[in-house]
Structure 1
Amino acid sequence: MSSPVSTPVSNFATPILTTNRLTLRPLAPGDAADLYAVFSDPAVVRYWSAEPWTSIACAEEAIASALACYREQSEVRFGIELAATGGLIGTVNLHHMFPKNRRCELGYALASAHWGKGYAVEALGAALDYGFHELRLNRVEADIDPRNAASSAVLERMGFRKEGYMPERWFVHGEMADTINYGLLRRYWDERGGR
């Protein structure tokens, strides 16, 4: 896997990162249809704290929010693009930044047609490497539904460690849902050689 190429303007500017098969880049208004295809799929949002999107307006609002974050330099939000086709297949975000504590949260989603191909690991690897080495983060956190075995496997493959369990934390899709909290320290990342 090639090393990420980054061109940050400030601490939280979203750069363009490249891997062997992917380009991680800022979202743009032209991504609305692809983004809607990802988040309108009930399989993708099954374990999210939100319902599937019901109109393209949802995607347009999400992109407008991302553009505001880029202007404010408050979060790092990537669209995941297939290098071979240029198609947007998901997102990965470093959000809820706490600069004083060098900590943030990680969020990601991938179109279900692209599951099981290693794209999530590839995208997260590039984003995490950028976060630890360019943004100088010390800690990245993630929380997932314990029934989401695939996401749990991805996080653990990246070196995240289970740190806690919170029963009935969310009410989504008509039911209470539990949360497993995961954490990844820069030293864990570096000890395992990053990606």
Structure 2
Amino acid sequence: MEEFPVLFTDRLKLRELNDGDILVLLSIFSNPHTMKYYGSDVMEGLEEAEGMVMSFRNGFENQQVFRWGIERRDNGEIIGTCGFHNRAKRVRRIEMGYELNEDEEGKGYMTEAMSAIIPFAFDHLHVNRIGALIHPNNLPSRKLVKRLGFQEEGLLREYVYAGGAYMDLIMHSLLKREWPL
């Protein structure tokens, strides 16, 4: 795959992130509310946001990372990102991640975005399994993946270190044979 795939839903355009998105990414990833359960520290400057865009671009070139900017079709505003990382091509496995601008939470945007990228992973990346690692206290995220058909598999104790502390995460997974619901 040479060109980054653009996906459309009723309300969203999922597209490659670019340098024009750096300020909005910084605003999202520097928000303590958004990053509370993310598993990494809040961003502190433009250089980190620039590095993130470059990292996503390099990951796509290596076919290991597929991270879309979630753009509202009605106003062209980037409201978050979603996508895949940690691709294990040989065993047909990948992990997903996502985050949304705090003001856009609870409006169904992430369910809509995930419903577009999940079939992309199964049909175009030819994976059999999508994993999602979620903090036990992140109830909205756990409800989201359950609504999409993911199964809770178990607790990974002190799996990440962020904010000066270790965090437990729960592994969830969705198999190709389980999609669509």
* Band of TM-score, shorter chain: over 0.9
Shift of 1:176: 2.7
Match of 2:171 in 1: 181
Structure 2 counterpart SS, 1:130: helix
- For the aligned residue pairs, the C-alpha RMSD in angstroms reads 1.3
Q: Is the 8 A contact 2:154 2:171 kept in 1?
A: yes
Match of 2:130 in 1: 140
Matched, 1:35 2:25: yes
Match of 2:121 in 1: 131
| 2:142 maps to which of 148, 152, 166 | 152
Match of 2:39 in 1: 49
Matched, 1:66 2:56: yes
Residue-pair matches, total: 181
Q: Percentage identity across aligned positions?
A: 35
1:45–1:110: structure 2 CA closer, same or farther, 3 Å change rule? same
Alignment of 1:11-22 (within 5 A): 14-22=4-12
Match of 2:103 in 1: 113
Shift of 1:65: 1.0
Counterpart CA distance in 2 for 1:157 and 1:37 is 28
Counterpart CA distance in 2 for 1:135 and 1:172 is 30
Match of 1:3 in 2: none
Gap runs ≥5 in structure 1: 1-8
Q: Is the 8 A contact 2:156 2:168 kept in 1?
A: yes
Counterpart CA distance in 2 for 1:73 and 1:59 is 21
Structure 1 counterpart SS, 2:172: strand
Match of 1:5 in 2: none
Counterpart amino acid of 2:68? F
Normalised TM-score (structure 2): 0.95
Shift of 1:22: 0.5
Matched, 1:122 2:112: yes
Counterpart CA distance in 1 for 2:73 and 2:107 is 14
123-132 or 66-75, which deviates more: 66-75
Normalised TM-score (structure 1): 0.88
Shift of 1:169: 2.2
Shift of 1:95: 1.0
Shift of 1:155: 0.7
